[in-house]
Structure 1
Amino acid sequence: MKNFAKIIAALLVVSFITQSCRNRSHSNPASPTPIAILKGKLKNEQNYSIILEDMDAKNLNTSSEKYLHKYQILKERKDTVLVESTEWYPVTSTYFNKHIDDLGMELVTKENGKVHEETVPAGYRGYVGNSQYGQWRQHNGHSFWEFYGRYMFLSHVFNRFNNPYRRDYYNDYRTNYSGRSYYGPNGRKVYGTSTYTGKSSWNSKDQSFKNKVRSQVKLSSARRARSASRSSRSTSYRSRSGGFGK
């Protein structure tokens, strides 16, 4: 019996170490997300936007695989807009999978003290359609957004210099997608990772790498969801069992 107990104890130690290493390699799920951290840092700002500027993955298929996000922050100031890029933040595979289609998109906006967390094309809240920053111009039968000279740099920030925002898409968002994320009309992916042409670490990777990452984080997310479901059922069972007397 003593030997058996030692074997069980050894197995438990190995299991604990393995799980700890795995948790470290995928970032601690209990840790605050980068967005939560940035929102805390920006809590005194009345107006700001947080854009997913870049993403990357390293050491795939190893115990030290990492998933990374980098963000762009816009803060409104009198007669200008401050733009800054963050450091690289480690994120879990589940969080990476959640935003894998959001490169170049605005994840959080704060307008006049109210925070919005639906994913929309960068600049859709606060800048596009706002006569303080620009105007709609007709070209080839369509109306496109054009920033005024002093704000022309925002076209580069939003990756719209050669592909300005269309008014019919913007109106579709305003009319039909209040309080919801928007990637284009009728569910089409007009905006986001698949159409983003800005310079980024993600776009520098070949398609096989991107496909591998997509497959890996999707599988990892599914595993975590199943694990969470089993844990929830187990907790529920223990709770019901605890109601019986001796």
Structure 2
Amino acid sequence: MNSTAKVVLGILVMFFIVKTCGSCDSSTSRQQTSSSQVAKTWKKSPVDELIKELNGEQNFSIILFDMDANESGSDYRHQYQVLIQKPDTVLEKKTDWKEVDEAFFSQHINDMGMEIATKKDGKLTKQAVPAGYNHYVGNEKYGRWENRGGSSFWAFYGQYAFMSSMFNMMTYRRSYWDDYNRGGYYGGSRGYYGPNSSNPVYGTKSYTSSTSGKSSTWGSKPNTFKDRVRTKVSRSSNQSSRFSSTRSKSSSTVNKRTSRSSSRYKSSRSTRSRSGGFGK
């Protein structure tokens, strides 16, 4: 190959590399812009804000006390019940209604009446569990297991009797509590709704069928309305998951293209070095 042909070939190779890298840079730039937009719109949930406010406490529970949505299913709200465990008492308060985004509402749509964040002996966990499980049920300071009709149930001592109605404790069997503690749920990320997930003992569907749940805002809504909201947030959640998966695949493709371009560039440089440089 004469010198002129080598020069032309070198120019063509360099043009291809620059064009390919330019496309990669453009794709990367678009992804960075998208990530930046997500970062700007993301904000802490009300639960995260509550956790921050309670940072000085060693033991507390945050319960999803009630929830609501408007008729169009575009505005979502939560109300929380906060319990702070002290050496000689338990402090309880309910928050005002808090606006939440659709993703957070969807995440906890089955968790009404349950703890969704707990701090025990300074360790924080975010797990949907029956209210009272992490601090009070099974703790002999607050009550004891009693046999009723062949089954064992938790009963609070007199000074803590208010917790029974507050937690809707009628369904808190010893067998369920044992299942939670021995089934690998405790301290993990999986929510616990009872021994049969298809027929929940705890959570939204169970709580809103109880007397205390029916008096809640969500419990008083028609089933047709609740079903519409469930369908809407479920669909949005699935779309969000597919978008995240697509972004991940796109990022992988860009990385592969960049790697191939880099490999070609190195190969080109190696060829020029062996031939003594262009024009020789």
Q: TM-score, normalised by structure 2?
A: 0.71
Alignment equivalent of 1:55, drawn from 32, 43, 67: 67
Alignment equivalent of 2:47, drawn from 22, 35, 40: 35
Matches within 5 A, 1:1-246: 30-60=42-72, 65-160=74-169, 163-176=170-183, 177-178=185-186, 179=188, 180-187=190-197, 188-196=199-207, 197=210, 198=213, 199-243=215-259, 244=261
Contact 1:34 1:89 (C-alpha < 8 Å) held by counterparts: yes
Deviates more, 1:222-231 or 1:114-123: 222-231
Of structures 1 and 2, the one scoring higher in RCO (CA 8 A, sep 6+) is 2
- Secondary structure at 1:185 match in 2: coil
Q: Work out the CA distance in 2 between the residues paired with 1:169 and 1:59.
A: 36
The CA deviation string for residues 134-170 of structure 1, in whole angstroms up to 9 with x for no partner, is 111111111111111111111122122xx25111111
Contact 1:29 1:92 (C-alpha < 8 Å) held by counterparts: no
Shift of 1:133: 0.6
Larger Rg: 2
Which consecutive residues of structure 1, in runs of 5 or more, have no partner in the other structure?
A: 1-22
The CA deviation string for residues 195-238 of structure 1, in whole angstroms up to 9 with x for no partner, is 10223110010100000000010111112222222233333333
Q: Partner of 1:19 in structure 2?
A: none
Moved over 6 A (4+): none
Contact 2:82 2:94 (C-alpha < 8 Å) held by counterparts: yes
Change (3 A) 1:99 1:29: farther
What amino acid is aligned across from residue 112 of structure 2 in structure 1?
L
Of Structure 1 and Structure 2, which has the larger fraction of its residues in strand? Answer: 1
Which consecutive residues of structure 2, in runs of 5 or more, have no partner in the other structure?
A: 1-36, 266-280
Contact 1:94 1:218 (C-alpha < 8 Å) held by counterparts: no
Percentage of identical aligned residues: 45
Shift of 1:29: 5.6
